[in-house]
Chains A and B, each alone.
Chain A
């Protein structure tokens, strides 16, 4: 935490320009001996608060691993990871769980929802796990934002894939996390539902001051971001600000993805 600007946007958000999450010399090695795979090789990166960051790269580049390590779902083999000013590598499993619960929101590619709970219950799940009362006003504003008003009492099986992902997005935001991590959130959606979801995430960042980090391999998805980090072979090879689908697509061709 070096610089601080005073403008706080939205409840619980870090001021713009602050580093929301940071990886420092992070390596992730799987296997041993000849079978060793370096998914991440000495990666350092800062993700800024109030920004929509996309992490891109061809498959096997380590982009998902980087996201998992940043989100506290996985531990790096070496290096350190900070979310806010908390060093994740110093936390035990329970502390890490609490951090995920209170400070981090998740959107996975699929299977984001518990089938027994209604949409509304799924949205409130992390808050209820924490044993807190949901902030009704805040929840309502998110639900309106994702456009799920009439679907709240439905169970996941009664929702379309796009609706399910919007419920997941609403859940990710419900607990007012410092940072939302999305792992290929549009990977299982048709382009229209995908665009809806991405638009929603973008609005959450632009108007709500939310911090979102998204892994994707789709240049169109990446074009919704403020900034794109390119990964190849476990290294960050480049980054791009204010991307468009075309510029990202061109760069990806150049990367060979």
Chain B
């Protein structure tokens, strides 16, 4: 039996190739994601491992809880005096106090050196002990020693043409200062540290500019080699005052690496989601292929049944074919996965999200077997239904001259589909307007999609009639194309469904993104009273020094300069994002919609809570809430205000800038809202602020329109990422169209031959196939666009509470997608159309 399987596959090369590609692409995405994830992890492991390779133990302040916030995890500083104690521990060869902090490099023209993808700008102490420097080494020049010397990473130096000896300004949390570049630094083989910009200072200088004199962030220790690192850490721990801890260098490296990895984890989830979509779309093509295989082989199957094959053997044979196809395709997919991983990495870099440190591509055994199993399983499962249908072939059918008939979709399908769709819509409406909450909305969305997929074969006839109506103008070729598309509604439906899914998602994301964009302008308008906004330059860099606020306030014409920051703390035991605000001005600058209490009363131990959270927790103004900061531990805060204003502020909690200052070392600010004096000219003030900020290239001033546009730009690049990912599914769907057309042409060889005999030109034959393809694509595209519109709008509506204020439809984009789908249909028809035009008239028509 298996030989027959192999022969059967080889006999239909095109079909096998197309199906293989459609599975392989999905698997490649899975494998690529896993490879990229592993490569990223390995890259960061290596980076941090090498960086701390010379450090055997670290002394640092304990934190109240290990926040997942990542690299910049804020710990309280350690007194430099502890150094002496540590140095006297037996087994310590060297110990140095290290300070880390915000340090933005500017170039010789005063422009900020901003790392791509929002990587931080960090300043460090350069240890005197060469071993403690780990992989950090000087590529040119010498280590900084004086109070005005700095060494910078080689990437920054090269990209901004900063030569040795250059006199450049560095921006800190505190006052900026001028430094002479005395060296460039490399990190192992890398020229930068995972995309960040790095500035190195002599120990005393670092304390002054990055932290505070007499305080260090941690103490790095080199062992004399007589004891293990663990023992070393233990010995040091014994001499430390309460509140400090000693850990091994390896622990530190692992923690740092893990923190970064957590930040990238969402990307793996995101990519795997797209991989899932691609596989789902691919499964439609597999389903189609096997349905065709079964219908074409009806006589062959009947013959094997007639000569004694059991039903079990028939289904086993087909599933073996599916399994073989799955294994081969998955193997191809794993191979392609390496390319996909590289492609995704480049895509991220191009779209400005992040740049990975280079590392050898990691293809783990786990990647291979997961991809193989997933790909094979999807293939076999998708082939299951058609294979079961094959068992219904009766032996007698071997004797009949039966053309594979297209069964009309069942009534059950129509009813089930209609019920699902109407139930789904009802759920969405109930959730949105009937107060049913979010759950019915999401369930309703799912039900609608499943319902539409179920209903597809039923509605494909009327749809094709409508969509194909203009084809009358194309004469008989167009007419036949429309009828051919209608001939096998199930096949047309499943082919179109594959495309539909891709378009549904692309359009839904488009609607969601546009709504987000449109909403942001409204949010700015509704939720802030500011005339001007000072934000991170180019929306790329991180937050900036609180000095910026002072500078802006001093500009003539500025009435109010209200700064905001953001961070993470534990409120009532749960980690949550908070905003920090200026209590005296925040209610003027923002429409906070305070329902009770006042933001002005925040003080250093007050918290302002969103109405929804307060309601849920039963909190009222005057209640006390435990708030825990990583650096300073637990405090009892008092609720001073409850507010409903959505939009501008992050999170459900707000504290004062002063409270943040007291609990978060080296806090930074993210924006300054500027209100003008009466009669001040906005343009003039804006120019004045811009001029003042010349010394702070990490911040820029924007008016409302510019700010909304800048945020829109970020949403756009996110959307671009999502769209590119989803396009893969669309490509797979197009392969499905090629597959279906190729099979249709194959099935209709005799018809094509007859048409050619009675005078249809090859051009007309090609046009007939082309229009059939366009009808199928348009069904998929239009249903997908419609469904996507609905789902996107529903999604935007659900998130109304979270800041989305209006639903916007990117009509032009959707139009482009639909037209592109039609064009893609034309392209998909090229091959099958050629095949149809090549049909040998005589062989097709003459009965021997």
Interface residues of A, Cβ cutoff 8 Å to B: 64, 68, 73-74, 93-94, 97-98, 100-102, 106, 108-117, 125-126, 128-131, 171, 183, 187-188
Q: Evaluate contact between A109 and B847: CB separation under 8 angstroms.
A: yes
**Shortest beta-carbon distance, A81 to chain B, in Å?**
15
Report if A126-B841 is in contact (Cβ < 8 Å); known contacts: A111-B847, A114-B751, A131-B475.
Answer: no
Q: Evaluate contact between A112 and B754: CB separation under 8 angstroms.
A: yes
Which chain A residues border B841 with CB–CB below 8 Å? Answer: 73
Which chain A residues border B757 with CB–CB below 8 Å? Answer: 73, 100, 106, 108
B753-778 residues with Cβ-Cβ distance < 8 A to A are 754-762, 764
**Complex partner residue of B759 from A101, A110, A115, A188, CB under 8 angstroms:** A101
Q: Evaluate contact between B847 and A126: CB separation under 8 angstroms.
A: no
Which chain A residues border B11 with CB–CB below 8 Å? Answer: none
Q: Evaluate contact between B484 and A129: CB separation under 8 angstroms.
A: no
Whether, in the assembled complex, B399 has its beta carbon less than 8 Å from a beta carbon of chain A, the answer is: no
Q: Which residue of A lies closest to B403 (CB)?
A: A115
Distance in angstroms between the alpha carbons of A100 and B755 in the assembled complex: 11
Offer 30 A-B interface pairs, CB within 8 angstroms, sorted by A. Answer: A64-B846, A73-B757, A73-B845, A97-B760, A98-B759, A101-B760, A102-B759, A106-B757, A106-B758, A108-B754, A108-B757, A108-B847, A109-B846, A109-B847, A111-B754, A111-B845, A112-B754, A113-B754, A114-B751, A114-B755, A115-B403, A116-B483, A117-B483, A125-B476, A125-B755, A129-B476, A129-B755, A129-B758, A130-B759, A183-B846
Interface string of B831-848 (1 = CB under 8 A from A): 000000000011001110
**Shortest beta-carbon distance, A79 to chain B, in Å?**
18
**Complex partner residue of B761 from A73, A98, A115, A128, CB under 8 angstroms:** A98
Q: Evaluate contact between A110 and B762: CB separation under 8 angstroms.
A: no
**Shortest beta-carbon distance, A170 to chain B, in Å?**
13
Which chain B residues border A73 with CB–CB below 8 Å? Answer: 757, 841-842, 845
Distance in angstroms between the alpha carbons of A111 and B403 in the assembled complex: 12
Whether, in the assembled complex, B480 has its beta carbon less than 8 Å from a beta carbon of chain A, the answer is: yes
B470-504 residues with Cβ-Cβ distance < 8 A to A are 475-476, 479-480, 483-484, 487
Whether, in the assembled complex, B208 has its beta carbon less than 8 Å from a beta carbon of chain A, the answer is: no
Q: Evaluate contact between A97 and B761: CB separation under 8 angstroms.
A: yes
Distance in angstroms between the alpha carbons of A112 and B764 in the assembled complex: 19
Q: Evaluate contact between B476 and A128: CB separation under 8 angstroms.
A: yes
**Number of chain B interface residues as a range:** 20 to 34
**Shortest beta-carbon distance, B72 to chain A, in Å?**
68
Q: Evaluate contact between B759 and A93: CB separation under 8 angstroms.
A: no
**Complex partner residue of B762 from A93, A115, A116, A126, CB under 8 angstroms:** A93
Q: Which residue of B lies closest to A100 (CB)?
A: B759
**Shortest beta-carbon distance, A56 to chain B, in Å?**
18
Distance in angstroms between the alpha carbons of A74 and B480 in the assembled complex: 26
Whether, in the assembled complex, B750 has its beta carbon less than 8 Å from a beta carbon of chain A, the answer is: yes
Distance in angstroms between the alpha carbons of A112 and B844 in the assembled complex: 11
**Complex partner residue of A125 from B758, B761, B762, B845, CB under 8 angstroms:** B758
Q: Evaluate contact between A94 and B761: CB separation under 8 angstroms.
A: yes
**Shortest beta-carbon distance, A90 to chain B, in Å?**
18
Not counting A73-B841, A114-B480, A125-B476, a sample of 6 additional A-B residue pairs whose C-beta atoms are within 8 angstroms of each other reads: A110-B847, A111-B847, A114-B754, A117-B480, A129-B475, A131-B476
Q: Evaluate contact between B758 and A101: CB separation under 8 angstroms.
A: yes
**Shortest beta-carbon distance, B328 to chain A, in Å?**
36
Q: Evaluate contact between A97 and B759: CB separation under 8 angstroms.
A: yes
**Shortest beta-carbon distance, B461 to chain A, in Å?**
13
Q: Evaluate contact between B751 and A74: CB separation under 8 angstroms.
A: no
Q: Which residue of B lies closest to A128 (CB)?
A: B476
Q: Which residue of B lies closest to A110 (CB)?
A: B847
Which chain A residues border B475 with CB–CB below 8 Å? Answer: 128-129, 131
Which chain A residues border B759 with CB–CB below 8 Å? Answer: 97-98, 100-102, 126, 129-130
User: What are the nearest 6 A-B pairs in CB distance?
Assistant: A101-B759, A128-B476, A116-B483, A126-B758, A100-B759, A109-B847
**Shortest beta-carbon distance, B759 to chain A, in Å?**
2
Report if A116-B758 is in contact (Cβ < 8 Å); known contacts: A64-B846, A110-B847.
Answer: no
Which chain B residues border A64 with CB–CB below 8 Å? Answer: 846
Which chain A residues border B758 with CB–CB below 8 Å? Answer: 100-101, 106, 125-126, 129, 171
**Shortest beta-carbon distance, B11 to chain A, in Å?**
23
Distance in angstroms between the alpha carbons of A171 and B756 in the assembled complex: 14
Distance in angstroms between the alpha carbons of A108 and B758 in the assembled complex: 11
Q: Evaluate contact between B845 and A74: CB separation under 8 angstroms.
A: no
Distance in angstroms between the alpha carbons of A47 and B755 in the assembled complex: 26
Which chain A residues border B479 with CB–CB below 8 Å? Answer: 128
Which chain B residues border A171 with CB–CB below 8 Å? Answer: 758
B726-760 residues with Cβ-Cβ distance < 8 A to A are 750-751, 754-760
Q: Evaluate contact between B842 and A68: CB separation under 8 angstroms.
A: yes
Distance in angstroms between the alpha carbons of A108 and B756 in the assembled complex: 13
Which chain B residues border A101 with CB–CB below 8 Å? Answer: 758-760
**Shortest beta-carbon distance, A110 to chain B, in Å?**
5
Interface string of B817-842 (1 = CB under 8 A from A): 00000000000000000000000011
Q: Evaluate contact between A116 and B845: CB separation under 8 angstroms.
A: no
**Shortest beta-carbon distance, A61 to chain B, in Å?**
15
Which chain A residues border B762 with CB–CB below 8 Å? Answer: 93-94, 97
B406-449 residues with Cβ-Cβ distance < 8 A to A are none
**Shortest beta-carbon distance, A140 to chain B, in Å?**
20
**Shortest beta-carbon distance, B760 to chain A, in Å?**
5
Distance in angstroms between the alpha carbons of A130 and B761 in the assembled complex: 9
Q: Which residue of A lies closest to B763 (CB)?
A: A94
Report if A116-B480 is in contact (Cβ < 8 Å); known contacts: A64-B846, A73-B842, A74-B842.
Answer: yes
Which chain B residues border A108 with CB–CB below 8 Å? Answer: 754, 757, 845-847
Q: Evaluate contact between B751 and A129: CB separation under 8 angstroms.
A: no
**Shortest beta-carbon distance, B479 to chain A, in Å?**
8
Interface string of B503-546 (1 = CB under 8 A from A): 00000000000000000000000000000000000000000000
Which chain B residues border A109 with CB–CB below 8 Å? Answer: 846-847
Distance in angstroms between the alpha carbons of A131 and B842 in the assembled complex: 24
**Shortest beta-carbon distance, B514 to chain A, in Å?**
42
**Shortest beta-carbon distance, B26 to chain A, in Å?**
34
Q: Evaluate contact between A129 and B760: CB separation under 8 angstroms.
A: yes
Which chain A residues border B764 with CB–CB below 8 Å? Answer: 129
**Shortest beta-carbon distance, B110 to chain A, in Å?**
71
Distance in angstroms between the alpha carbons of A188 and B845 in the assembled complex: 14
Which chain B residues border A128 with CB–CB below 8 Å? Answer: 475-476, 479
Interface core residue of A94, A97, A106, A183 (most chain B CB under 10 Å):
A97
Interface string of B303-339 (1 = CB under 8 A from A): 0000000000000000000000000000000000000
Which chain A residues border B403 with CB–CB below 8 Å? Answer: 115
**Shortest beta-carbon distance, B421 to chain A, in Å?**
29
Distance in angstroms between the alpha carbons of A64 and B846 in the assembled complex: 9
Distance in angstroms between the alpha carbons of A109 and B848 in the assembled complex: 10
Interface core residue of B475, B487, B754 (most chain A CB under 10 Å):
B754
Distance in angstroms between the alpha carbons of A255 and B363 in the assembled complex: 77
Which chain A residues border B756 with CB–CB below 8 Å? Answer: 97
Interface core residue of B751, B756, B757, B847 (most chain A CB under 10 Å):
B757
Which chain A residues border B755 with CB–CB below 8 Å? Answer: 114, 125, 129
Which chain A residues border B842 with CB–CB below 8 Å? Answer: 68, 73-74
Distance in angstroms between the alpha carbons of A116 and B846 in the assembled complex: 20
Distance in angstroms between the alpha carbons of A108 and B847 in the assembled complex: 8
Distance in angstroms between the alpha carbons of A74 and B846 in the assembled complex: 12
Which chain B residues border A94 with CB–CB below 8 Å? Answer: 761-762
Distance in angstroms between the alpha carbons of A104 and B104 in the assembled complex: 85
Distance in angstroms between the alpha carbons of A114 and B750 in the assembled complex: 9
Q: Which residue of B lies closest to A94 (CB)?
A: B761
**Shortest beta-carbon distance, B468 to chain A, in Å?**
13
Interface core residue of B754, B759, B762, B846 (most chain A CB under 10 Å):
B759
**Shortest beta-carbon distance, B1 to chain A, in Å?**
33
Q: Which residue of A lies closest to B484 (CB)?
A: A116
**Shortest beta-carbon distance, A59 to chain B, in Å?**
10
Q: Which residue of A lies closest to B841 (CB)?
A: A73
Report if A115-B760 is in contact (Cβ < 8 Å); known contacts: A74-B842, A131-B475, A183-B846.
Answer: no
Distance in angstroms between the alpha carbons of A108 and B845 in the assembled complex: 7
Q: Which residue of B lies closest to A121 (CB)?
A: B479
Distance in angstroms between the alpha carbons of A113 and B760 in the assembled complex: 14
